[in-house]
A and B are shown apart, each in its own frame.
Chain A
Amino acid sequence: MISLIPLFPLIGFLINGTWYALGQSRPGARKASAGLTGGIATLAIFASFLVSLQLFLQLHGMPEDGRVIEQMMFSWMKVGDFNLQMGFRLDSLNTLFTLVITGVGTLIHLYSVGYMGHDETPGKFFSYLNLFCFAMLMLVLGSSLPILFLGWEGVGLCSYLLIGYWYADTEKASAGKKAFIANRVGDLGFLLGMFLIYTTFGTLDFAQLKEVVMAGGHGALPHGVALGTITTICVLLFVGCTGKSAQIPLFVWLPDAMAGPTPVSALIHAATMVTSGIYMVTRLNFLYSLSPDALGLVAGIGAATALFAATIALVQTDIKKVLAYSTVSQLGYMFLGCGVGAYTAGVFHVITHAFFKALLFLGAGSVIHGMHEEQNILKMGGLRSRMPRTFLVFAIGWLAICGIPPFSGFFSKDEILWTAFSSPHGSTVLWAVGAVTAVMTAFYMTRLFSLTFLGQPRFQEAHGHDDHHGHGHGHGHGIHVHESPWIMVAPLGVLAVLSAAGGFMGVPHLSWLEHWLEPVVGAHHGIAEGVSPSLEWVLMGVSVVGAVVGITFALKLYSNLKNAEKLAQSGSGLHKLLVNKWYVDELYEAIFVKPIHALSKGLWKGFDVAVIDRFVVGFGRISQATGQAVRTIQTGSIQVYAFVLGLGLVATVGYLIYGLAR
């Protein structure tokens, strides 16, 4: 039954993919409508959602400590004692993920039908989207690390394909490649971590692994395994997470990934794929919990990324870039949560983030759609009146991410902040970073919101044009802003409801979620000594106040754009630094890409050609030269020939006589 979940999208992919490749791809072939192809894809993922839902209910009905459904299909690789089963295991953790993936996925598919309505190759697009869902579901459902890795790389591939969807634009294609390669760097860590797990514990299956690791009792190291090994495993795996979930130092690909179509950004680069790192850490929480150092690293990187990305988001002007950095920042939050041992909080934030960030992205997509592919928020403004429905849902998403109660973001973010402060693994510093980030988040989101929807339009508006003139009007004529069609707005509505209400599954102290996840992540770790539980309310208040302050400040500042520019100029150095994203791309280019490229070229020309080949050719040359030299003796003169014969005679006879005389 579980296998149906990934199977449906796979079937959708195969149908659309084959149809595209064989039927639509030829130049001059009749292109399929987005409605049909999208319909197939949406149906596939929706079917998957239904199955997920059914299974969720099934799990729900099972006793608490036995909420596992397993399906082993066949042995994937069996070499000696290494036997890798291709199988799925559904438990309380990944059932949530399947629901989010298929649920949000369905909405986004639906949205895409509208968004990609005028695309040249919708068949290709939807097949990729289905393929992505398939891979993502493999990732979360897989019963062992290699299957997770299969999905892990699979989503990377889809991300690559979809970022570079408009391949004719070199920059977009490059962005895809960058994403893939950055992910590959992470995957290397993942792979090695996997190897170390295998050589240490002898299994890669999650259930068996947990059994082996927990054999020594809760919190105790398994027999014969050094803490260092566990730490190494966790760190290596976390390297994989930094790639997939865009953490320092591998986050650079995610902002560029916005080159893809907006639904893709929503689905892959906000709601699902990028959270797989959190899934993996949570899945292996029993390992991470054993290693304080690893947890510290996770939390530290998470916090740092959250803050770092937020600073960049402050000054970005591309609507999707802002959202992208915000995503990086929010992912940092999630890792912060996991890093302090609050896996539930992390997962909680994953879910709420999926709702509101998908909402925000799709909303942004709607804006871009309405603005005829304009993405610069400085050229927007005043869209409230022109796109009222979008405005409404976007506002909900905005409030959710800013952490204004009772919207979903508030609960999950607050949970993370509190645990960052109170958990045994937490600290005031982590909390402080989180809180500052929260303020910044509120600020830049408000900035985005304000510049987009509020104030006066900063674009030249076209008049007298009707919708049916469609897209593609040049800027010279001004643009006719229009609200998006229902097929796009309806999913937004659903997401808005979820963003608004989704937080209630994890209301502090009454958390259904925490209880639900207990079989996987264990009981709540409690709070560190010396932390008063009552502080929770205080901190909650602080963060809400912070958010409100950020919003107010931003609203005030961006009600007049000139003020903002003045402010930017007053700190021009810092501003420039932020606009250029701390020059991280340039730094990587300088210390990795260029040297390796130069080195490669050097090795090729300098070693392959200049040394090895020269040696090889040199051997031939030497032979030839020797031949030429010997040849010169062959003068044609009988005397010389006889003389050489005589020399041979002298030498040999001399040697023999010398031998006798000795």
Chain B
Amino acid sequence: MDLNPIFFTAFASLAIAFALLVVLKKNPVASAFSLVLVFFCFAAMYAMLDAHLLAALQVLVYAGAIMVLFIFVIMLLAADVPSFDLGRSHVGLRIGSGAVSLVLLGLFVWAFRHTESFGAKGTLTAAKIESVGGNTQAISQLMFSDYLLPFELTSVLLLAGIVGAVAIAKRQNPRKEGSGS
């Protein structure tokens, strides 16, 4: 894979480090900011892998929209929470989790190492993509032909999400609504 090893190593290390911080930092704000950095690293990776559109979207959607939403909620709630810096769970669980994840990682890496053959090569080589006008062009063209269905469904999904979010977060009317327990 014609990925620059130096850049890869650098961004990978950074990403792993920040990802660890996301998990390990007690303060969710710190976690959130670490996460943003992870997102940036990923964007860089995408760019290096010739997925330029995705690199841009990564920054815009993830680092921009989603993270802002997170930070916003954190800020919204943090004001009310006495101790927002919730630590981690019981030691046993932590050790167990670490072990589980490590073992899983080992298994996956083993699988990757032992995978000699990948799926059949497609037709969209770099040259082909270049011929239709680059990565962004190719993706947008595909979106309206081959991927029409998922694209349309995404809109359904977003609509459902909106309705859901509204239903959840709608201002409550205590007079009208009963409380269970």
A and B part of one assembly? yes
Among B96, B100, B110, B114, residue most surrounded by chain A Cβ atoms (within 10 Å)? B100
CB distance from A192 to the nearest CB of B (A): 72
Q: Report whether A643 and B100 are in contact in the complex, using a CB–CB cutoff of 8 Å.
A: yes
B3 at the interface (CB under 8 A from A): no
Task: Digitize A628-662: 1 where CB-to-B-CB distance is under 8 Å, 0 elsewhere.
Answer: 00000000010110010011011001100100110
Give the number of residues in A that approach B within 8 Å (Cβ atoms). Answer: 13
Residue of A nearest to B110 (CB): A657
Known: A639-B93, A654-B107, A657-B107. A646 touches B100 (CB 8 A): yes
B97 neighbours in A (Cβ, 8 Å):
643, 646
Interface string of B84-113 (1 = CB under 8 A from A): 000001000100110011011001101100
Q: Does B114 contact A660, Cβ atoms closer than 8 Å?
A: yes
On whether the beta carbons of B100 and A647 are closer than 8 Å, the reply is yes
Q: Give Cα A643 to B95, complex, Å.
A: 11
| Chain A residues closer than 8 Å to B108, beta-carbon distance | 653
CB <8 Å contact, B104 and A639: no
List the B side residues contacting A654 at CB < 8 Å. 103, 107
Q: Is there an interface contact between A653 and B100, defined as CB atoms closer than 8 Å? A: no
Inter-subunit contact A643/B93 (CB<8 Å): yes
Chain B contacts of A660 at CB under 8 A? 111, 114
Tell me the smallest distance from the CB of A242 to a CB of chain B, in Å: 80
Q: Is the interface of B mostly helix, strand, loop or mixed?
A: helix
Q: Which of A637, A640, A643, A649 contacts B104 (CB 8 A)?
A: A649
- Closest residue of A by beta carbon distance from B102: A650
Do residues A646 and B89 form an inter-chain contact, with CB atoms below 8 A?
no
Is B96 a contact partner of A643 (Cβ separation < 8 A)? yes
Q: From residue B100, how far is it (CB to closest CB) to chain A in Å?
A: 5
- The distance in angstroms between the C-alpha atoms of A654 and B111, with both chains bound, is 11
Contacting pair B93 A640 (CB below 8 A): yes
- Enumerate 16 A-B pairs (CB-CB under 8 Å) in ascending A order: A639-B89, A639-B93, A640-B93, A643-B97, A646-B97, A646-B100, A646-B101, A646-B104, A647-B100, A649-B100, A649-B104, A650-B100, A650-B103, A653-B107, A654-B103, A661-B110
Contacts of B110 in A (CB 8 A): 657, 661
Interface residues on B, range: 10 to 19
The answer to whether A657 touches B111, judged by C-beta atoms less than 8 angstroms apart, is yes
- For A647, list chain B residues within 8 Å (CB): 100
Per the 8 Å Cβ criterion, residues 254-281 of A in contact with B are: none
Nearest chain B CB to A204's CB is how many angstroms away? 81
Determine how close the nearest CB of chain A comes to the CB of B123; give it in whole angstroms. Answer: 31
Q: How far apart sit A647 and B101, CA to CA, in the bound complex (Å)?
A: 9
State A650–B103 Cα separation when bound (angstroms).
7
A637 contacts which chain B residues (CB < 8 A)?
89
Contacts of A650 in B (CB 8 A): 100, 103-104, 107
B133 to chain A, nearest CB (A): 42
Please, how many angstroms separate the alpha-carbon atoms of A194 and B97 in the complex?
80
Question: Considering the chains assembled together, what is the distance between the CA atoms of A650 and B107 in angstroms?
Answer: 9
A637-B89, A653-B108 given; name 19 further pairs at CB < 8 Å. Answer: A639-B93, A640-B93, A643-B93, A643-B96, A643-B97, A646-B97, A646-B104, A647-B100, A649-B100, A650-B100, A650-B103, A650-B104, A650-B107, A653-B107, A654-B103, A654-B107, A657-B111, A660-B111, A661-B110
Smallest beta-carbon distance A645→chain B, Å = 10
CA distance A92 to B49 in the complex (A): 123
Instruction: Give complex CA distance A115, B82 in Å.
Output: 108
A-B interface, 7 closest residue pairs, ranked by CB to CB distance from nearest: A646-B100, A657-B107, A639-B89, A650-B100, A653-B107, A650-B103, A650-B104
Residue of A nearest to B107 (CB): A657
Q: Is the CB of A653 within 8 A of B89?
A: no
B101 to chain A: which residues have CB within 8 Å? 646
A148 to chain B, nearest CB (A): 83
Q: Which residues of A contact B111 (CB under 8 A)?
A: 657, 660
CA distance A560 to B89 in the complex (A): 110
A657 to B114, CA, bound (A): 11
In the complex, chain A residues whose CB is within 8 Å of the CB of B89: 637, 639
Q: In the complex the two chains form, what is the Cα distance from A643 to B103 in whole Å?
A: 13
How far apart are the CA atoms of A654 and B103 in the complex, in Å? 9
Among residues of A, the one whose C-beta sits closest to the C-beta of B111 is A657
Which residue of chain B has the shortest Cβ distance to A658 in the bound complex? B107
Once the chains are docked, how many angstroms separate the CA of A141 from the CA of B142? Answer: 109
| Chain A residues, Cβ within 8 Å of B100 | 643, 646-647, 649-650
Shortest distance between the CB of A135 and any CB in chain B (Å) = 80
Q: Mark B34-63, 1 if CB is under 8 A from A, else 0.
A: 000000000000000000000000000000
Interchain CA distance A229-B114 in the complex, whole Å: 83
> What's the least CB distance linking B164 to chain A, in Å?
20
